[in-house]
Chains A and B, each alone.
Chain A
Amino acid sequence: MSEPSRDAHPVPQGSKACRRLFGPVDSEQLRRDCDALMASCVQEACERWNFDFVTETPLEGNFAWEPVWGLGLPKVYLPSGPWGTRDNLGGGKRPSSSPVLLQGITQEDHVDLSLSCTLVPRSSEQAEGSPGGPGTSQGRKRRQTNMTDFYHSKRRLIFSKKKP
């Protein structure tokens, strides 16, 4: 019993709620649709932030991306490299995890990049309203998901694609 607490409510034997509603499920189609939707999420993010999150490359657009270093992040978030400085950052909350994490990732698995982005001011509709205001108009509403003008420290690990 790995999870004794939720097992306070095991699925009752012969529960009527255990049923398939719309016939057999095609796993192949699920996988294809899942991949397509994930790709469209990536594409949307790419257009939204003019940043290619797969290759970690800034693209042309509203945001100006530039590399930043020395953000004082806990070392677990930092790449091992010239700006990683994993020795002089204190903390050490999880002494064992970070070296393992950093060593476990080979060069081809990830791209070292810390970026900040700034919204490039444009004329008319690009004027950025302060977030959190009462979203009444259509334009304001769309804006709620916006980040503030200054976006800190972007770093992602791209793990090598493994198809199961």
Chain B
Amino acid sequence: MELLCCEMDRVRRAVPDANLLYDDRILQNLLTIEERYLPQCSYFKCVQKDIQPYMRRMVATWMLEVCEEQKCEEEVFPLAMNYLDRFLAGVPTPKTHLQLLGAVCMFLASKLKETIPLTAEKLCIYTDNSIKPQELLEWELVVLGKLKWNLAAVTPHDFIEHILRKLPQPNEKLPLIRKHAQTFIALCATDFKFAMYPPSMIATGSVGAAICGLQQDEDVSSLTSDALVELLAKITNTDVDCLKACQEQIEVVLLNSLQQFRQDQGDGSKSEDELDQASTPTDVRDIDL
């Protein structure tokens, strides 16, 4: 007999802790430690022989699809990409291992961040059973060893609330700004350009891009875009010009991804059903550029 429980689908979450979010020391500590978790080099130049940048994009896109289909917490995907980049910055890896590595990184990130983590079996199904759960578990240890068990990496998501609460935006606009910023962060994680940027800069740039994008439709900001960038830069101690450049890069990546999306839509090979599953393109569609 199968018993149904109405609470089954509800993931339990802690409420936002005001003591953590409204204490500036937390933000300062995050800014101090964030660089410890950046990949040590641009590994396509100095470490990897077999893996090309487009392969990272392929595996990242796949990982994002899995995370979205499994309704993972927002941080899981960027955190998994952080593990992937840090591993690849140290270990020459053949391309045939790349998908396994991506699965292992999702496995670890999900365990760290989620109430109900992804299972090894499920991740193997997503590789079309090209790897076995046992292999996933063995490689989990390898990745942990190479990352020196430093899993609690700082991600751009850690900064979002700290940034949002210092902006003069009306409260009712924040959920939309947050949602768009999260989408941008995921987009950044798929693009290697951003892999070496400090998470605080990606977070600040994403919030900036989100507000600028939304501004065209509705009045979400009382600030001019220059004043906004300056305020954002001050919050995370980022150089204004770097931040502007970062925000522009995010907008370019968004445009590319929108074009890609329209192409995919145009070729008719993907059903509307599938398009609606992926929350990122759906969100992106809403942004009028």
Contact = CB atoms under 8 A, between A and B. Distances in A.
A122 interface: no
A8 interface: yes
B99 A22 contact: yes
B100 A16 contact: no
A4 interface: yes
Interface in A50-93: none
B130 interface: yes
B262 interface: no
Report whether over half of chain B's contact residues are helix, strand or loop; otherwise say mixed: helix
B125 A30 contact: no
B127 interface: yes
Nearest to B87: A37
Contacts, number: 101
B58 interface: yes
Interface residues of B, number: 49
A15 B129 CA distance: 13
Interface string B129-159: 0111011001101100110101000000000
Contacts of B146: 37, 41
B62 A19 contact: yes
A30 B93 CA distance: 11
Nearest to A41: B145
A15 B69 contact: yes
A9 B70 contact: yes
A141 B55 CA distance: 31
Interface string B111-141: 0000011110010011110111011001101
B170 interface: no
A18 B128 contact: yes
B62 A5 contact: no
B71 A9 contact: yes
Contacts of A21: 55, 58-59, 62, 98-99
Interface in B193-225: none
Contacts of A34: 135, 138-139, 142
A17 B96 contact: no
A19 B123 CA distance: 11
Interface string A1-16: 1011110110110011
B278 to A, nearest CB: 9
B11 to A, nearest CB: 9
Interface size range on A against B: 35 or more
A4 B7 CA distance: 11
A135 B131 CA distance: 39
A22 B91 CA distance: 18
Contacts of A135: 32-33, 35-36
Contact of B118 (A1, A6, A31): A6
B135 A30 contact: yes
B23 interface: no
Contacts of A134: 32
Contacts of B100: 25, 30
A151 to B, nearest CB: 16
A34 B144 CA distance: 12
A41 B65 CA distance: 32
Given A17-B65, A22-B98, A29-B96, A6 B116 contact: yes
B91 A17 contact: no
A141 B91 contact: no
A6 B62 contact: no
Interface string B33-60: 1011000000000000000000100110
B126 A18 contact: yes
Interface of A: 1, 3-6, 8-9, 11-12, 15-27, 29-31, 33-34, 37-38, 41, 134-135, 141, 144-145, 164
Interface of B: 2, 5, 8-9, 32-33, 35-36, 55, 58-59, 62, 65-66, 69-71, 91, 94-100, 116-119, 122, 125-128, 130-132, 134-135, 138-139, 141-142, 145-146, 148, 150, 270, 274
Per CB-CB distance, the 3 closest pairs between chain A and chain B, nearest first, are A41-B145, A17-B65, A20-B130
15 contacts: A1-B2, A8-B9, A16-B270, A19-B127, A21-B98, A22-B55, A23-B96, A25-B100, A27-B132, A29-B94, A33-B94, A34-B139, A37-B145, A135-B33, A144-B36
